[in-house]
Amino acid sequence: MTFLLDVSRGRTDAEEGPTGPELREIRGPRVHPQSSPLRAGGVQTATEKWRFHCLRCLHVWEELYEARYCGDAVAWRLSGVAAQPPWVDRACRGCDGLWVKALPDGLVARRVTAK
């Protein structure tokens, strides 16, 4: 990304437009492949079981996801195909309802009943 900075007034060209010979070019930081934190050696892969609960028809099912962790980024795969995270845009297999709760393995959804 390149910006032009008016040295005499300290404003960018987006605010005022080019004003003459006192403009100089400023470039953003460059990322070199040697210093990139996202190297293939830093990727960790885990298989995670997610349980889905439909809050409309109470249908419950499980799916196995492959999560690839690389720093702060996570890439999800479902059945070998790139996928959205488990908690995004799920539809119930039983009623096609969109009121689906996704829980990682080990957490249990409880139904609260009024007394």
For the stretch 29-46, pLDDT in tens is 444 444 445 455 688 999
Higher pLDDT, 67 or 25: 67
Q: Is the pLDDT of residue 112 over 90?
A: no
Q: What pLDDT is attached to residue 97? A: 93
**Distances, alpha carbon 92 to alpha carbons 1, 64, 71, 96, in Å:** 44, 16, 32, 5
For the stretch 80-90, pLDDT in tens is 999 999 999 88
